[in-house]
C-alpha cells in the first residue's frame, strides 16, 4: 500500500465529525418536517411517487405494496416498513386533521390495531392532495434535486398551498431534539393566513381570533385556553385536554357515564390502558361506585360506557377519572421544523409567515413560467396571423423552394436566392419577410385546414386571449397586491371545498377536584409465597387458614391496609409497596408477582426480608452481609415514601444476607461456608446510619463467606441442622465481635 495515501487522524475527531454528520442527516433529511410544506422527506416522497404513478383521486386504487416498492426503489432507500407506516398514517382520519391519502382496506383503527400488510391494502391520492399539494409541479414552481443514486429527480419541497404544518401537525424524534405539533382546523388556518397577508404586522393574539386552538381529529376539550397565547408565541408549552363525557340513564336506575371523545394522546394502546386504570380504581378500593365497564366503540366513533351505582356522586367520579386516568392528559407542544435548511422552534405567526413567503415564491415561479409560455404562444400566433394575410406569397415561396432549409431562410432572413417566383414583385415582397425562427417553424408546420375562415377567426380570438393572459400575468408578477389576491382566491377555494367544522372545544376548564373516599383502616395479613406472588387477606381469614398459610408462604406478617410493605434485597435496596396496591381477597386467590407492583426486579436481585413499614419505627434493624459486615440502623430511617431507596452501603462484591428487626434477640450467630460459627452479643454491634458500610462482625479465612445468620433470645436458643448434624446454637461458645469463631466438625 502506498504510505502517501494513509491519512493519520485523531480518532475522537473522526467520531465527532461522523456523529455530527449523522445527526444532521437525521434532523434535516428524516425526522423533522419542512416548514414550507409541513412534510417529512418520506411523506413527501410517497405523495410525489403516487403523483408520478398517476394514482389520482378519480383513478382506481393501487396496491400499497406497489407504491411502497416504487418509492423505495426511486426515492427513499430506508426500508419498506418506514414508508408503509408513513403511508398508513396519512390515511388515518383519527391521526390527521386532513388525510392526504385515500386508503382502501384495513388501515388500522383508533384503538391501536395495526394496518393489514401492504400486499392487502390499496390507496390513491385524496382530492385535496392533488389540488393543494401537487398541482403546478409541471410549472417549475419548486427545485428538483437528484435522488439517492442520481437516476431520478425529486422535488426538494412540494408546492403546498396551505400551512400544512399547522393543519396536520407533526411528530418526530431526531438526534437531540424532537417535534410535536398539534393539528388545527383547515378553515381557521386559512382565515389566519389571509389575515396575515392583509396585515403582515399582525400579532399572535390577533391571529388567535381566527385560530381558536388545536383541533384534534379525536375531538375532546382543551381546558387551558388562557395559556395558548404563550404557547403559540413561543412554539413550546403544554396543552391540557380532556375527553368528552356524557351522562345517560342506565338499567335499573343506574347511571351510565359515556365517553364519546378521547384526548388525542389516548389514541392506540392507551385506550385499553385507560380501561385497565378504571378497573384498577375499583380493585384498589379508590371507588366502589363502578358496576361495569364496557368498550362499545365502533367505526361510528368512540363509546366507552362506565355503569355506576344509583347514589354515585357523578361530578366527583368524573373528576376522579380526570385525576387518576388519562381522560385528562397533556399534549407537549414543541413546534420544531426545518426552516431555511436548519431546525428552528417557531410560533404560529412564524409558521404562517414562512408559508406565505413560500406561496409568493411558488406563485412567482409559476406565473413566470406561464408568462413565458404565453409570450411564446403570442409570438407563434402573431406569425400565423401575419402569414394568413400573405398566404399567397407564402405558398409561392414554398412551391418555389428546393428544400425546407431554403424556405426557412427566406421566411426568417428574406433570402430569395434559388427560389422560383412567379414575378419579380413576389421576390421583392419575399425579401421583406422577417419572421422569427419560432414563427417560421410554425408556418412550415401549419396544416392547410388552418386557412379556413373559421379557423382564422379562432386563431385571432385565441391571440386576444393570449394577450389578455400576458397582461394578467405581468400584473400578478409586478404587483404584490395582485399576487396576494391570487393566493387568497386559491385559499378560499380550498377552504370552500375541503374545510370542516371544528371538533375540539377550547375553553378554560375548572381544575378537577375530587374527594377521595376515606378508606376504613384495618389490620390485614401480608402473604408472599416462594414464587414471589403476593396478596393480602383479612386477619380472620388468615386465622381460619393459619396452618396452610404458614406452610405455603415464605413471608407472613400483619400490617395496616393504609400502610406500606418494605422489601429488603441482597443488593442493599429497599422497595416499598402501598398495601392498597397489593390484591386483597380470598385465601385461595393466587395474587400477583411482586415485580408487577414494585420496582423489585427478580432477574437482578432476591429478597432477604419483608416487613411492615409501621413496625420498622419500633425497632433497630440489623444488617449482615456475606463479607461479615454488620450494623444496627434506627428503623425510623426507613420510614420513606419513595418506591426505592438504598437501605445500606455495600463494599465491592458484597451483598446483604440478613435483615432483622431486633426485638428480644440477645445474640447473633454467624455461620460461614467453611463451617465456622461465631456467637456474640447483639449489643456489640454499633448503631450506624443507613448510608454507612458498618463494622466487621467476624474474621473470615481467605475466600470464606457468611452463609447464614441466626439469632438467640433470652428465653430461646434454637437448633439448626448443619451438614446433617444438629447444632444447638445456645451451646456455641460465646465470643466477641470480630473474632474467628468455632469450627463445627462433621
Least Cα distance to 381 among 450, 448, 325 occurs for: 450
The question of whether 514 is a catalytic residue gets the answer no
Give the three cell numbers for residue 477: 408578477
First-last CA distance in the chain: 72
Backbone angles phi, psi at 210, to 5 degrees: -100, -45
3-state helix, strand, coil in the chain (%, to 5): 40, 25, 35
Separation CA 574–CA 203 (nearest Å)? 55
- Beta strand 592-593 pairing with 573-578: unpaired
Helices (H), 133-202: 164-167, 186-198
Catalytic residue among 48, 61, 75, 120: 120
DSSP 402: S
Separation CA 687–CA 329 (nearest Å)? 47
Separation CA 647–CA 634 (nearest Å)? 11
Separation CA 174–CA 176 (nearest Å)? 6
Tell me the CA distances in angstroms from 496 to 360, 388, 493, 500, 594, one per residue in order.
22, 46, 5, 9, 59
Nearest 5°: the CA angle 17, 18, 22 is 115
Identify the three-state secondary structure at position 55.
Answer: coil
Separation CA 431–CA 424 (nearest Å)? 11
Separation CA 220–CA 259 (nearest Å)? 10
Least Cα distance to 646 among 681, 602, 682, 693 occurs for: 693
Residue indicated by cell numbers 391521526: 95
The number of residues in the chain equals 746
Q: Give the chain's count of helices (H) and strands (E).
A: 21, 35
Enumerate residues 6+ apart whose C-beta is below 8 A from 292.
305, 306, 307
Identify the three-state secondary structure at position 401.
Answer: coil
- Beta strand 62-63 pairing with 122-125: antiparallel
Q: Which residues are catalytic?
A: 120
Amino acid at each position: 500500500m502506498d504510505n502517501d495515501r494513509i491519512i493519520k487522524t485523531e480518532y475522537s475527531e473522526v467520531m465527532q465529525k461522523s456523529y455530527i454528520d449523522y445527526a444532521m442527516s437525521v434532523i434535516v433529511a428524516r425526522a423533522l418536517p419542512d416548514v414550507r410544506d409541513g412534510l417529512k422527506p418520506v411523506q413527501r416522497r410517497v405523495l410525489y411517487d403516487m403523483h408520478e404513478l398517476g394514482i389520482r383521486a378519480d383513478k382506481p386504487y393501487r396496491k400499497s405494496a406497489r407504491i411502497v416498492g416504487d418509492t423505495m426503489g426511486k426515492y427513499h432507500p430506508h426500508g419498506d416498513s418506514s414508508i408503509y407506516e408513513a403511508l398508513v398514517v396519512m390515511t388515518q382520519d383519527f391521526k390527521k386533521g386532513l388525510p392526504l391519502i385515500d386508503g382502501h382496506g384495513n388501515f388500522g383503527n383508533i384503538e391501536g390495531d395495526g394496518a393489514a400488510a401492504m400486499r392487502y391494502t390499496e390507496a390513491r391520492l385524496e382530492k385535496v392532495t392533488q389540488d393543494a399539494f401537487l398541482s403546478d409541479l409541471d410549472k417549475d414552481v419548486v427545485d428538483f434535486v437528484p435522488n439517492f443514486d442520481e437516476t431520478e429527480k425529486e422535488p426538494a419541497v412540494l408546492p403546498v398551498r396551505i400551512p400544512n404544518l399547522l393543519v396536520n401537525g407533526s411528530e418526530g424524534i431526531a438526534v437531540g431534539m424532537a417535534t410535536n405539533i398539534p393539528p388545527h382546523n383547515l378553515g381557521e388556518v386559512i382565515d389566519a393566513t389571509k389575515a396575515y397577508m392583509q396585515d403582515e404586522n399582525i400579532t399572535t393574539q390577533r391571529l388567535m381570533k381566527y385560530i381558536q386552538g388545536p383541533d384534534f381529529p379525536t375531538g375532546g376539550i382543551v381546558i387551558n385556553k388562557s395559556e395558548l397565547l404563550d404557547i403559540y408565541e413561543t412554539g413550546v408549552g403544554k396543552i391540557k385536554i380532556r375527553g368528552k363525557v356524557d351522562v345517560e340513564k342506565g338499567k335499573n336506575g343506574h347511571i351510565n357515564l359515556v365517553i364519546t371523545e378521547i384526548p388525542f394522546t389516548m389514541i392506540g394502546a392507551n385506550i385499553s390502558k385507560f380501561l385497565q386504570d378504571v378497573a384498577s380504581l375499583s380493585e384498589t378500593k379508590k371507588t366502589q361506585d363502578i358496576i361495569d365497564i364496557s368498550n362499545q366503540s365502533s367505526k361510528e366513533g368512540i363509546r366507552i360506557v362506565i355503569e355506576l351505582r344509583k347514589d354515585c356522586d357523578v361530578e366527583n367520579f368524573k373528576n376522579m377519572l380526570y385525576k387518576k386516568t388519562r381522560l385528562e392528559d397533556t399534549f407537549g407542544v414543541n413546534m420544531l421544523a426545518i426552516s431555511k435548511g436548519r431546525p428552528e422552534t417557531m410560533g404560529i405567526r412564524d409558521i404562517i409567515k414562512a408559508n406565505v413567503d413560500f406561496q409568493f415564491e411558488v406563485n412567482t415561479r409559476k406565473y413566470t413560467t406561464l408568462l413565458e409560455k404565453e409570450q411564446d404562444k403570442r409570438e407563434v400566433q402573431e406569425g400565423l396571423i401575419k402569414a394568413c394575410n400573405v398566404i399567397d406569397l407564402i405558398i409561392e415561396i414554398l412551391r418555389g423552394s428546393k428544400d425546407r432549409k431554403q424556405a426557412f431562410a427566406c421566411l426568417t432572413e428574406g433570402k430569395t436566392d434559388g427560389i422560383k417566383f412567379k414575378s419579380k414583385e413576389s421576390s421583392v415582397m419575399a425579401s421583406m419577410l422577417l419572421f422569427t425562427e419560432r414563427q417560421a417553424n410554425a408556418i412550415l408546420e401549419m396544416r392547410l385546414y388552418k386557412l379556413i375562415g373559421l379557423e382564422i377567426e379562432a386563431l385571432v380570438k385565441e391571440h386576444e386571449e393570449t394577450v389578455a393572459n400576458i397582461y394578467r400575468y405581468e400584473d400578478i408578477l409586478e404587483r404584490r397586491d395582485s399576487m396576494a389576491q391570487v393566493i387568497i382566491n386559491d385559499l378560499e377555494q380550498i377552504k370552500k371545498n375541503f374545510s370542516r367544522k371544528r371538533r375540539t372545544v377550547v375553553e378554560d376548564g375548572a381544575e378537577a377536584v375530587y374527594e377521595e373516599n376515606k378508606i376504613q383502616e384495618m389490620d390485614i395479613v401480608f402473604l408472599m409465597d416462594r414464587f414471589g406472588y403476593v396478596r393480602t387477606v383479612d386477619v380472620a381469614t388468615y386465622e381460619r387458614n393459619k396452618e396452610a398459610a404458614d406452610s405455603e408462604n415464605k413471608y407472613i406478617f400483619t400490617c395496616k391496609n393504609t400502610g406500606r410493605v418494605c422489601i429488603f434485597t441482597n443488593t442493599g435496596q429497599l422497595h416499598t409497596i402501598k398495601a392498597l396496591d397489593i390484591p386483597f381477597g380470598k385465601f385461595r386467590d393466587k395474587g400477583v408477582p411482586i415485580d408487577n407492583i414494585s420496582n423489585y426486579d427478580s432477574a437482578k436481585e432476591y429478597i432477604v426480608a419483608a416487613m411492615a413499614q409501621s413496625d420498622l419505627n419500633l425497632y433497630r434493624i440489623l444488617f449482615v452481609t456475606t463479607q461479615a459486615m454488620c450494623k444496627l440502623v434506627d428503623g425510623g430511617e426507613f420510614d420513606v415514601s419513595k418506591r426505592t431507596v438504598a437501605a445500606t452501603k455495600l463494599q465491592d462484591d458484597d451483598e446483604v444476607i440478613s435483615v432483622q428487626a431486633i426485638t428480644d434477640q440477645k445474640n447473633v450467630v454467624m455461620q460461614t461456608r467453611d463451617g465456622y460459627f461465631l456467637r456474640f452479643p447483639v449489643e456489640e454491634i454499633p448503631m450506624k446510619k443507613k448510608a454507612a458500610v458498618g463494622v466487621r462482625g467476624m474474621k473470615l479465612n481467605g475466600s470464606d463467606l457468611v452463609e447464614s445468620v441466626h439469632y438467640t433470645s433470652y428465653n430461646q436458643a434454637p437448633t439448626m441442622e448443619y451438614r446433617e448434624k444438629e447444632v444447638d446454637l445456645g451451646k456455641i461458645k460465646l465470643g466477641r465481635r470480630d473474632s474467628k469463631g468455632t469450627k463445627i466438625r462433621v
